[in-house]
Structure 1
Amino acid sequence: MNAAHWRGKRVLVTGGAGFLGSGLCHALGAMGAEVLALDAMLDGSGAHPGNLDGSGATLVTADLRDADLAPHTRDMDAVFNMAGQTSHAGSMADPFADLDINATAQLRLIAALRDGSPDAVLVHASTRQFYGTPRYLPVDEAHPLAPPDPNGVSKLAGEQYWMLEHRTRNRRVTSLRLTNCFGPRLRVRDARQTFLGIWLRRLLEGQPFEVWGGAQLRDLAYLDDVVEAFLLAAETPSCAGSVFNLGGAPPVSLLALAEAAVAANGGGRFLFKEFPAERAAIDIGSYHADDTAFRAATGWAPKVSLEDGLRRSLDWFRPRLEAYL
């Protein structure tokens, strides 16, 4: 990534007080960008008031669903669209709210940016969830789409609204379909953002965490690598109009991941459990991404190993855990 590219740029980060959004705010601020972090600060989301400490970003508390967005979307050079509802169980319980956040709110942001920043580059945070249960591994962008729950459907609608904006308005839009991401400032109160959050919490509390199944494969991406991918996507004009998978470290079984987390913590234990019935119905089994296309387009490759990422995450949370519960 090119630090000089961002110096003096005006950048909007939606979901800016969340896990990935705040990571971008810190990186952009360090490179001299003027960053506006817009976040609804919803209870149950990944937003945390401490996530932006030291970033230099200006936080505006506003909900994309109903706020006046015009004052916050003027004269932007780039937008990182990280806002979204990510809870699978939450989408099953209230699909209407899920649709509002992940689809209707995206249309409101599109309209505001057409008026205020028609030339801003936009990178959209999307999800591997669209593919559902993989028919083959690794999963490339040509894999059939079969979202397993309402969250997958709403997120797919939001992504496609943005790709339509590229096709009809020629805005530079790129969408990155993310695998499981982890690192500092991840939501660890519970498993609403990712199962790994509650694993980290239990390890730091000296309590056992639960592993459901154990044989499923996952590829995990560390925060710093994900942030670099978003910045490269925005910096690379040839990415415009494309949807890319983004993976991370080589795939690992949940059992091996649990053992690696315990080792990174210097101790701990876990329990095997059967999948809860309501989660078994939407579990996709094993997944890992083929992100060859994005690597070829940008030169990106993850730099942080799974083991190092787990150590860094635990070390970051250890003195801060109480503030994040």
Structure 2
Amino acid sequence: MNILVTGGAGFIGSHIVDALVESGCRVAVVDDLSTGKFEHVNPGVNFYKVTVQEPDFKEVVAREKPGAVIHLAAQADVQHSLQEPQADAVINILGMINLLEACRRHNVGKVVYASSAAVYGSPIYLPVDENHPLAPQSPYGVSKLTPEHYLRIYRDLYGIGYTILRYANVYGPRQDATGEGGVVAIFTDKLLKGEKPFIFGDGGQTRDFIYVKDVAAANLAALRRAEGITLNVSTGCGLSVNRLFTMIKKATGSGLEPVYRPPRPGDISHSYLSNEKARGLLGWAPRRSLEEGLSETVEFYKGNS
């Protein structure tokens, strides 16, 4: 099967590409390298330095003729979306429209879309399942939700299949500790450098931390299953930022303590997602414990420090 991965040089995308190549798929990658890194691109793929919102993207689809697209290319920083909401929308919303138009013109059968827990906003119950009300609290949340509606419209009008995967907080090797870097990457990077990391708020806020290779496995399963379905990709468990820090501190062997700062606008206090639907419809479940995932992540950063 021919698969095109947008954002395939990025943290999550590069792991998905590796898994696809290992499974025997023919893979092409589109990435503008604004946050992705070329050294993370699997050498066995065709690579195009293109953004999904530019006209050249349609030429890539025409050339590669993929049977499916896994769409990860995005502006993924909540704080940046608050500062530059228009730029956020251009990439996340207009990029999806351009992608879907390319899929329509060149008979792509399916899109697997990387959405986000940010579409739910502040949970009114936990764990958050796929029927939870959608009330994003940042431009980023809006720009991740809007493409979900376009996917449904293009399926109804043009027969393009889709599966929507709403990710919890993804962590693991290759995550950038700068820019839109997640808290695991930031804590690990700081502690290994002998610097005290910041915790925004009191650290009691909880998140659902899912290992990147488990996310990759969910994407591969979604290529052939869960047609027209929206699924959470998560562990189903919440962990406080304070507890996470303690675990990373132990894994790195650091004796440092964090510096607490005021909460940031747009941050949600508690969030973890039910994964029961993904378990049933994808035949998927997270395989790595948090301890195992953090250990692999810390070893990666030690080898790249």
TM-score class, shorter-chain normalisation, is over 0.9
* SS of aligned partner of 1:69: helix
Q: Match for residue 234 of structure 1?
A: 223
- Residues 109-134 of structure 1: per-residue CA shift (max 9 Å, x gap): 11111112x24222100000011111
Structure 2: how far apart are the matches of 1:142 and 1:24? 27
Residue number among 259, 266, 269 corresponding to 2:253 in the alignment: 266
CA contact (8 A) 1:215 1:255 kept: yes
Structure 1: runs of 5+ lacking an equivalent: 1-8
The one of 264, 278, 284 equivalent to 2:268 is 284
Which one of the candidate residues 145, 154, 167 is aligned to 2:156?
167
Match status 1:181 vs 2:170: yes
Question: 1:71 corresponds to which residue?
Answer: 59
CA contact (8 A) 2:236 2:272 kept: no
Partner residue, 2:11? 19
RMSD: 1.5
Structure 2: where are the runs of 5+ without partners? none
> Distance in 2 between the 1:299 and 1:105 partners?
30
Residues 1:94 and 2:78 are matched in the alignment: no
**1:59 is aligned to 2:47:** yes
Give the corresponding residue for 1:250.
237
CA contact (8 A) 2:196 2:259 kept: no
Superposed CA offset, 1:10-34 (max 9, x none): 1100011101111111111122222
Provide the identity percentage. 32
Q: Which residue of 2 aligns with 1:124?
A: 113
Q: Is the 8 A contact 1:174 1:233 kept in 2?
A: yes
Q: Could you tell me how far 1:55 is from its partner in structure 2?
A: 4.4
Q: How does the TM-score come out when normalised to structure 2? A: 0.95
State the distance in 2 between where 1:93 and 1:282 align. Answer: 12
1:103 equivalent in structure 2: 93
Number of equivalenced pairs: 302
Q: Would the aligned equivalents of 2:69 and 2:111 in 1 still touch at CA under 8 Å?
A: yes
- The Cα offsets for residues 44-77 of structure 1, whole Å up to 9 and x where unpaired, read as x3x112111x441222100112232233113212
TM-score computed with the length of structure 1 as normaliser: 0.89
Which of 281, 296, 301 aligns to 1:297? It is 281
Structure 1 residue 191, shift from structure 2 partner: 5.2
* Secondary structure at 1:318 match in 2: helix
- Residues 191 and 256 (structure 1 numbering): CA distance in 2 closer, same or farther, change over 3 Å? farther
